[in-house]
């Protein structure tokens, strides 16, 4: 057995399929002890540290930080006997950053590694709970035909509305040797199959085979008992060349010229995680809260100059100061003047909040998340700046906790960072106003009676029209604009 | 009352609390060892029972050894889960004292009904710690002979084992096996969350009405998964016993000595025919509910830190050091033993054979059944129908 062992990402919860590498706690070349924490992984359930399964030296790291890894994929290789001299095989790349692109590479490694070592009897390795993959060839005999007569009927059904097979066999004939006990049900049920929307009958291993071969079971007519689909049926379907105009997904590779780029030149991405949550929130909000969006274009030149002066102050020297900070301040001050904006529609009543948990929509590798600064209205400008910096960094690092994301009362989405001017944002559920902050551009602007290049931005405010009338929404947006046009004067006037 | 028990004595009622100096500021808590490692000579419980222990140096050291071993083996199991070798693990981290104290208070003839977290009690019953790991590795169904070890199978269903325990205890009475020092008693373990279950409350009723020789040992670790104690009860849990008509006491569950004293007393009452009692071991689950849980989502770091300061092992170690009962050599030797045993445990877990799929039909009926035999035959035939596939 090789002394280099690969560690596969285990199922860290119950029934999880993947995990995200948050951070590596070791690097290639490190000497590690048994049970020393080596990597932090986040799953749908928890962020956990994985302890090293073997002592030794880190030989290679296959997955970069931030990578989402399927359970069972090798993530690290450990040389369990580093003092025994050089390895026979050339050392794999030690560059973790390259690792994710080298997704194909682990195949080489796993061949040499004997997986997790300790292969148990029966050729199974205890990679995961229960059964790991077999390392020896399976010795089971081929399936003996339960219904030896019938497999030929398994021709794929053309995609016509009514599933009329090419060689329609009379229903009773297909039943083959149906067990006597289930007689009456068998004739009625077994064959409604594809069209009736009833579940296709097939045993789990047959389903697995169909999945592996890319055969859609609902297009088959089974030859087994009760019309169930047998391995033979699946095989036949997989090998059949489809020449009809509408190729079946399963066999498309053989058919039309387009097939060379993949079934239908479509990619199917399972909807889950952040994407799923975002989708649910967005559609819920869009179809329950009547949205109104208003726009205001503002000359931010003075404000940008004020920011420059702020940056030059000693106590602000190492603080990250961005236009977003001023927008946040503007929103907070405007909320103080129009508290009704910071509210929730709760069916029978409107909940107006005395605190502002200011949400900032952030694009991260995992998708859109909206962490919020708690009780932002009470923070000084400096505290606000620090909080925003923290919040953004945490989000980028993928470490935003659920608590940080819940309880938001009002949100800013900084679409300007993508270089666009404005948008009509959708309210986060439970909030009544969201402000889109567009890019700040040099634009021709009438300033003191002359057209001048000025730093101009466009604000887009969406609000819940059940709570906020046009007048209130407009005044709120106007106040934000006033602050951004001349922050000093606004501060003097309002605070 | 059993005279001459090793280490424990309880004297009459209404004794004056002497050494009790409000170590935790909680007058309801029976404590014999403070978090700083100071011994309290004796404590009077809410019903006037006086609790004290008097162990030899060797016995004190062995308590420490058990605590350390139990923690280390538990940590090893957690690591094995993280490495994909166990499907799940429910860590006892933080609850070692409650389990070792109560587990060691059991006599040979006593019967224990655990939840799925009583690895420490199991250890103190003298059972090989590998025993429950087959269940968590998914290579057996967690079955063992409860009579052989006087330790029932791990029960995953919350609170269900209290009913089993009550029935067992009622059986002891019916067999006439109470009333002497050799009488039998039953201990049922459960958590704070389980006190909201109907099963547990029904057990209280039955045990009380039938004067069953049993001890309800509630490890109040403050959380029912993520649900805090204040969502379970408005009064301290031990006081619930009064409503059912038997005594209840709250013990510092991070104090192994008090946990021992209180449990020993309650068990001896039970075996002498004085009926059930409830012990609330006030403790804290330092880790996650199980390896599938992330406690940082529902509790704050400062709370965990506050309990860290009450660590059951640290206080025992401080006591041994202060009293010069043990020195660095001893502590190093215990650590070495713990490491050795945990490595041994790991090796044996990795070697656990996978079961034959058809073995799931074993042990369904003691003498077999035609129906199960038929199912086994069908299943065997089904397995043989695979070809080539690894599944």
Residue B51: active-site member: no
B372, B373, B374, B380: CA torsion to nearest 10 = 110
**Whether residue B105 sits in one domain with residue B154:** yes
Contact B292 A10 (CB under 8 A): no
- Residues B115 and B231 placed together within one structural domain of the fold: yes
Alpha helices in A114-214 (DSSP H): 171-174, 183-189, 193-196, 204-213
Interface contact flag, A10 B82, Cβ < 8 Å: yes
CA–CA gap between residue B121 and residue B150 (Å, rounded): 11
The four Cα atoms B332, B338, B341, B347 give a dihedral, to 10 degrees, of -100
Q: Answer yes or no: is B2 within a domain.
A: no
Residue A412 backbone dihedrals phi, psi, to 5 degrees:
-115, 135
The answer to whether residues B220 and B269 belong to one domain is yes
How much is the pLDDT for A200? 81
Residue B333 within any structural domain of the chain: yes
Residues 6+ apart with CB under 8 A from B369: none
Torsion of the alpha carbons at A425, A431, A432 and A438, rounded to the nearest 10: -30
Same domain, A389 and A445: yes
> Which positions ≥6 away from B303 have C-beta within 8 Å?
none
Indicate the helix (H) or strand (E) that contains A337: helix A323-337
Nearest residue on chain A to B353, alpha-carbon basis? A120
Q: Are residues B234 and B382 in the same domain?
A: no
A212 touches A222 (CB < 8 A): no
On the 0-12 / 13-18 / 19+ scale of CB atoms within 10 A, A302 is middle
Q: Do B297 and A49 touch (CB under 8 A)?
A: no
State the Cα–Cα distance between residues B59 and B264, nearest whole angstrom.
Answer: 15
| Residues A201 and A91 occupy one common structural domain | no
Indicate whether A81 belongs to any domain. yes
pLDDT, tens digit, 9 for 90 and up, residues B283-294: 999 999 999 888
Q: Which residues of B touch A36 (CB under 8 A)?
A: none
Whether residue A244 is found in the same domain as residue A283 = no
Measure the CA dihedral B296/B301/B307/B313, to 10°. 80
Backbone region of residue B368 per phi and psi (left: phi > 0; alpha: psi in -120 to 50; beta: other values): left
For residue B347, the model assigns a pLDDT of 96
Query: Where is pLDDT greater, at B153 or B18?
Result: B153
Q: Is A74 on the interface with B (CB under 8 A)?
A: no
Q: Does B139 touch chain A (CB under 8 A)?
A: yes
Q: Are residues A296 and A172 part of one domain?
A: no
Q: Per residue of chain A (495 residues), what is the pLDDT tens digit? A: 578 999 999 988 777 888 899 999 999 999 999 999 999 998 877 788 999 999 999 999 999 988 899 999 999 999 998 888 777 654 444 444 444 444 444 443 333 333 443 444 444 444 434 344 444 444 445 555 444 444 444 444 444 444 444 444 444 444 444 444 433 443 334 444 344 446 788 888 888 888 888 888 888 888 888 888 888 888 888 876 343 333 344 434 444 444 444 556 788 887 777 777 788 888 888 888 999 999 999 999 999 999 999 988 888 888 888 899 999 999 999 999 999 999 999 888 999 999 999 999 888 777 788 899 999 999 999 999 999 998 888 888 878 887 788 889 999 999 988 889 999 999 998 899 999 999 999 999 999 999 999 999 999 999 999 999 999 999 999 999 999 999 999 999 988
Looking at chain B, which residue has its C-alpha nearest residue A126?
B85
Q: Same structural domain for residues B329 and B382?
A: no
Contact criterion met (CB < 8 Å) for B384 and A124: no
B388 in A contact zone (CB under 8 Å): yes
End-to-end alpha carbon distance in chain B: 60
pLDDT of amino acid B358: 86
Distance of CA A7 to CAs A58, A73, B279, Å? 11, 8, 45
Q: Does residue B65 lie in a domain region?
A: yes
Q: Searching chain A, which residue's CA lies closest to the CA of residue B80?
A: A53
Contact A8, A111 (CB under 8 A): no
Per residue in B68-83, pLDDT tens?
999 999 999 999 999 9
CB environment A72-89: b (16+ within 10 A), e (fewer): bbbbbbbbbebeeeebee
CA nearest B45: which of B10, B86, B84, B2? B10
Q: Are residues B342 and B388 in the same domain?
A: no
Domain boundary among A103, A123, A143: A123
Inter-chain CB proximity B85 and A7 less than 8 Å: no
A401/B297 touch (CB, cutoff 8 Å), yes or no? yes
Task: Supply the pLDDT for residue A272.
Answer: 74
| CATH label of the domain that carries residue A86 | 2.40.50.100
Shortest Cα distance, chain A CAs vs residue B222, angstroms: 20
CA angle B65, B69, B74 (to 5 degrees): 155
Q: Examine the domain organization and report whether A10 and A118 are in the same domain.
A: yes
The domain total for chain A is 3
Tell me whether residue B276 is exposed, middle or buried, using C-beta atoms within 10 angstroms of its C-beta: 0 to 12, 13 to 18, 19 or more. buried
pLDDT at position B197, please? 96
Are A117 and A160 found together in one domain? no
Q: Which residues of A touch B88 (CB under 8 A)?
A: 14
Contact B293, A45 (CB under 8 A): yes
Whether residues B99 and B138 fall in one domain: yes
Distance from C-alpha of A210 to C-alpha of A217, rounded to nearest angstrom: 7
A161 and A243 assigned to the same domain: yes
Q: What is the pLDDT of residue A443?
A: 92
Question: Is residue B357, in this structure, part of any structural domain at all?
Answer: no
Angle at CA A200, nearest 5°, toward A196 and A206? 165
One domain for residues A57 and A89: yes
CB contact under 8 A, B84 and A47: no
Q: What secondary structure does DSSP assign to A374-395, as a single string?
A: TTGGGS-HHHHHHHHHHHHHHH
* Residue B371 pLDDT > 60: yes
**Interval B147-191: pLDDT, tens:** 999 999 999 999 999 999 999 999 999 999 999 999 999 999 999
| A7 Cβ under 8 Å from any chain B Cβ | yes
Q: In chain B, which residue's Cα lies nearest the Cα of A43?
A: B292
**Residue A408 structural domain:** 273-494
Which residue among A191, A291, A447, A465 is the active-site one? Answer: A465
Cα–Cα separations (whole angstroms), residue A248 to A252, A259, A263, A264, A366: 6, 11, 9, 10, 33
Question: B297–A209: do the CB atoms touch at under 8 Å?
Answer: no
Do residues A100 and A179 both lie within one domain? no
In a domain, B355, yes or no: no
Let me know: does A82 contact A64? Beta carbons within 8 Å.
no
Of residues A8, A45, A134, nearest to B292 (C-beta): A45
One domain for residues A253 and A280: no
pTM of the model: 0.56
Q: Which of A227, A220, A151 is nearest to A187 (CA)?
A: A227
β-sheet bridge partners, residue A4: A79
**B50-53, strands of its sheet edge to edge:** B8-11, B50-53, B43-44
Residue A152 has φ and ψ, to the nearest 5°, of: -65, -15
Within A65-175, residue ranges assigned H as helices are 96-99, 106-113, 171-174
pLDDT of residue A480: 96
Residues of B in contact with A45 (CB under 8 A): 292-294
Q: Is any Cβ of chain B less than 8 angstroms from the Cβ of A5?
A: no
How far does chain A reach from its first CA to its final CA, in angstroms? 74
How many Å apart are CA A25 and CA B27, to the nearest integer?
46
Q: Which of B75, B138, B388 sits opposite A138 (nearest CB)?
A: B388
What's residue B6's pLDDT?
A: 52
Verify that B121 and B171 share a domain, yes or no: yes
Q: Which residues contact A395 (CB under 8 A, 6 or more apart)?
A: A362, A364, A369, A371
Flag whether residue A103 sits within 8 Å of chain B, measured between CB atoms.
no
On whether residue A130 sits in a domain, the answer given is no
CA angle B238, B243, B247 (to 5 degrees): 50
Q: What CATH number is attached to the domain comprising A339?
A: 3.30.559.10
Assign residue B263 the CATH number of its domain: 3.40.50.970
State residue B7's pLDDT score: 52
Which structural domain range is residue B88 located in? 8-350
Alpha carbon separation from A399 to A40, A51, A62, A199, A385 (Å, rounded)? 11, 20, 22, 42, 19
Residues of A in contact with B354 (CB under 8 A): 120-122, 124, 126, 130-131
Strand, helix or coil for residue B342: helix
Check CB contact of B85 with chain A, cutoff 8 Å: yes
The residue count for chain B:
391
Domain stops at, among A104, A123, A142: A123
Q: How far A144 CA sits from the closest chain B CA (Å)?
A: 6
Task: Please state whether beta strands B248-252 and B29-30 pair in parallel, antiparallel, or not at all (unpaired).
Answer: parallel
Whether A268 is covered by a domain: the verdict is no
In this structure, the answer to whether residues B298 and B378 fall within a common structural domain is no
Question: Is residue B80 located within the same domain as residue B115?
Answer: yes
Q: Is the Cβ pair B385, A143 closer than 8 Å?
A: yes
> Which residue of the set B61, B250, B265, B289 is catalytic?
B289
Q: What CA–CA distance (Å, rounded) separates A120 from A423?
A: 60
Residue B297 to residue A402, Cβ atoms within 8 A = yes
Instruction: Look at residue A138 and tell me if it is in a domain.
Output: no
Decide if B151 is inside a domain.
Answer: yes
In a domain, B356, yes or no: no
CB within 8 Å of chain A, chain B residues 340-379: 343, 350-354
Identified catalytic residue from B298, B348, B365, B382? B298
**Contact yes or no for A401 and B293 at CB 8 A:** no
B282 pLDDT band, cuts 50/70/90, is: very high
Contacts of A38 in chain B (CB under 8 A): none
Residue A136, domain member (yes or no): no
pLDDT of residue B217: 98
A47 lies in some domain: yes
- Which residue from A minimizes the CA distance to B356? A122
- Would A129 be classed as within a structural domain? no
Does residue B267 sit in the same domain as residue B161? yes
What is the reported pLDDT for A246? 39
Q: Most distant CA pair in chain A: distance in Å?
A: 97
Disruptive mutation site among B72, B76, B82 for chain A (greatest number of A CBs within 10 Å)? B82
Residues in B touching A13 (Cβ below 8 Å): 291-292
Compare CB distances from B84 to A8, A49, A120 and report the shortest one's residue: A8
CA separation for the pair B40, B378 (Å, rounded): 65
Same domain (yes/no): A114, A173: no
Which residue blocks in chain B are alpha helix, DSSP H? 57-82, 96-105, 119-124, 133-137, 146-149, 160-174, 198-209, 240-244, 256-271, 301-308, 312-322, 328-350, 370-384
Considering the domain architecture, whether residues B288 and B382 belong to the same structural domain is answered as no
- Tell me if A36 is assigned to some domain: yes
Decide if B373 is inside a domain.
yes
Three-state DSSP class for residue B43? strand
Domain closes at, from A261, A289, A313: A261
Tally of residues, chain A: 495
Residues A181 and A238 in one domain: yes
CB nearest B389 (choices: A12, A144, A209): A209
Per the model's pLDDT, the better-predicted residue between B47 and B145 turns out to be B145
Residue B300 CB partners (closer than 8 Å, separation 6+):
none
Chain A residues with CB inside 8 Å of B294's CB? 45-48
Euclidean distance between CA atoms A48 and B81, whole angstroms? 11
B16: left (phi over 0), alpha (psi -120 to 50) or beta: beta
Distance from CA of A258 to the nearest CA of B (A): 32
Residue A8 contacts B, CB cutoff 8 Å? yes
Q: Which residues contact A198 (CB under 8 A, 6 or more apart)?
A: A189, A192
ipTM of the complex: 0.76
Number of domains in chain B: 2
Helices (H), B210-296: 240-244, 256-271
């Amino acid at each position: 057995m090789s002394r280099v062992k690969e560690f596969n990402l285990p199922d860290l919860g119950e029934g999880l399929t993947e995990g995200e590498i948050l951070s590596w706690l070791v690097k290639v070349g490190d000497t590690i002890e048994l049970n020393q924490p080596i990597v932090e992984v986040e799953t749908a359930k928890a962020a956990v540290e994985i302890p090293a399964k073997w002592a030794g030296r880190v030989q290679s790291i296959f997955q970069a930080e931030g990578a989402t890894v399927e359970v069972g994929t090798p993530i690290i290789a450990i040389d369990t006997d580093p003092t025994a001299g050089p390895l026979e095989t050339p050392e794999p790349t030690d560059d973790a950053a390259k690792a994710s692109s080298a997704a194909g590479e682990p195949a080489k490694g796993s061949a040499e590694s004997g997986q997790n070592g300790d292969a148990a009897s029966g050729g199974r390795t205890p990679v995961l709970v229960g059964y790991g993959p077999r390392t020896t060839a399976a010795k089971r005999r081929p399936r003996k035909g339960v219904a030896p007569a019938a497999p030929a009927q398994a021709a794929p059904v053309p995609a016509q509305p009514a599933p009329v097979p090419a060689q329609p066999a009379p229903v009773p004939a297909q039943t083959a040797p149906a067990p006597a006990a289930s007689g009456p049900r068998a004739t009625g049920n077994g064959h409604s199959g594809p069209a009736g929307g009833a579940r296709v009958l097939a045993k789990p291993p047959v389903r697995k085979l169909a999945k592996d071969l890319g055969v859609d079971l609902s297009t088959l007519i089974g030859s087994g008992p009760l019309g169930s689909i047998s391995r033979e049926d699946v095989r036949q379907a997989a090998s059949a060349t489809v020449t009809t105009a509408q190729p079946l997904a399963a066999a498309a590779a053989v058919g039309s010229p387009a097939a060379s780029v993949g079934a239908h030149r479509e990619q199917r991405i399972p909807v889950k995680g952040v994407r799923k949550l975002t989708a649910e929130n967005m559609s819920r909000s869009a179809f329950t809260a009547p949205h109104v969006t208003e726009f205001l274009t503002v000359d931010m030149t003075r404000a940008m100059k004020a920011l420059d002066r702020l940056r030059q102050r000693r106590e602000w020297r190492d603080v990250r100061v961005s236009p977003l900070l001023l927008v946040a301040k503007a929103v907070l001050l405007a909320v103080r003047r129009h508290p009704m904006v910071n509210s929730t529609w709760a069916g029978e009543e409107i909940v107006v909040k005395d605190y502002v948990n200011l949400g900032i929509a952030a694009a991260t590798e995992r998708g859109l998340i909206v962490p919020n600064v708690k009780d932002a209205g009470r923070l000084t400008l400096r505290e606000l700046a620090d909080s925003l910096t923290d919040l953004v960094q945490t989000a980028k690092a993928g470490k935003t906790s659920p608590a940080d994301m819940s309880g938001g009362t009002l949100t800013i989405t900084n679409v300007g960072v993508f270089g666009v001017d404005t948008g009509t944002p959708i309210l986060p559920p439970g909030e009544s106003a969201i402000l889109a902050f567009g890019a700040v551009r040099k634009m021709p602007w009438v300033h003191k009676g002359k057209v001048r290049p000025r730093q101009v931005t466009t604000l887009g405010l969406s609000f819940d029209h059940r709570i906020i009338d046009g007048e209130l929404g407009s005044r709120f947006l106007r106040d934000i604009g006033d602050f951004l046009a001349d922050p000093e004067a606004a501060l003097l006037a309002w605070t | 009352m059993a005279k001459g028990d090793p280490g424990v004595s309880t004297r009459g009622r209404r004794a004056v609390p002497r050494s009790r100096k409000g170590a935790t500021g909680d007058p309801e808590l029976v404590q014999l060892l403070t978090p700083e490692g100071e011994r309290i000579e004796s404590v009077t419980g809410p019903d006037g029972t006086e609790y004290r222990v008097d162990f030899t140096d060797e016995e004190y050291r062995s308590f420490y050894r058990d605590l350390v071993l139990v923690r280390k083996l538990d940590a090893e199991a957690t690591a094995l889960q993280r490495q994909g070798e166990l499907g799940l693990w429910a860590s006892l981290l933080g609850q070692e004292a409650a389990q070792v104290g109560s587990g060691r208070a059991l006599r040979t003839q006593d019967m224990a009904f655990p939840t799925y977290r009583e690895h420490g009690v199991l250890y103190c019953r003298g059972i090989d710690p590998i025993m429950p790991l087959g269940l968590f590795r998914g290579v057996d169904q967690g079955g063992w002979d409860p009579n052989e070890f006087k330790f029932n199978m791990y029960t995953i269903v919350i609170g269900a084992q209290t009913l089993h325990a009550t029935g067992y205890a009622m059986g002891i009475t019916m067999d006439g096996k109470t009333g002497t020092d050799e009488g039998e008693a039953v201990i049922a373990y459960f958590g704070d969350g389980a006190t909201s279950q109907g099963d547990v409350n029904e057990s209280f009723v039955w045990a009380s009405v039938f004067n069953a020789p049993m001890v309800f040992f509630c490890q109040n670790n403050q959380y029912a998964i993520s649900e805090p104690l204040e969502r379970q009860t408005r009064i301290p849990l031990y006081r619930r016993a009064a409503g059912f008509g038997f005594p209840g006491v709250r013990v510092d569950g991070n104090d192994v000595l008090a946990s021992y004293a209180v449990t020993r007393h309650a068990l001896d009452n039970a075996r002498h025919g004085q009926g059930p009692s409830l012990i609330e071991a006030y403790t804290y689950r330092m880790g996650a509910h199980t390896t599938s849980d992330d406690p940082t989502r529902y509790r704050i770091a400062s709370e965990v830190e506050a309990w860290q300061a009450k660590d059951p092992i640290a206080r025992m170690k401080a006591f041994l050091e202060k009293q010069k009962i043990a020195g660095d050599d001893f502590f190093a030797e215990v650590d070495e033993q713990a490491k050795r045993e945990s490595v041994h445990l790991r090796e044996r877990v990795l070697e656990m054979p996978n079961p034959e799929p058809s073995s799931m039909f074993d042990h369904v009926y003691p003498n077999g059944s035609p129906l199960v035999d038929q199912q086994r035959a069908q299943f065997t035939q089904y397995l043989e129908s695979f070809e080539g596939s690894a599944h």
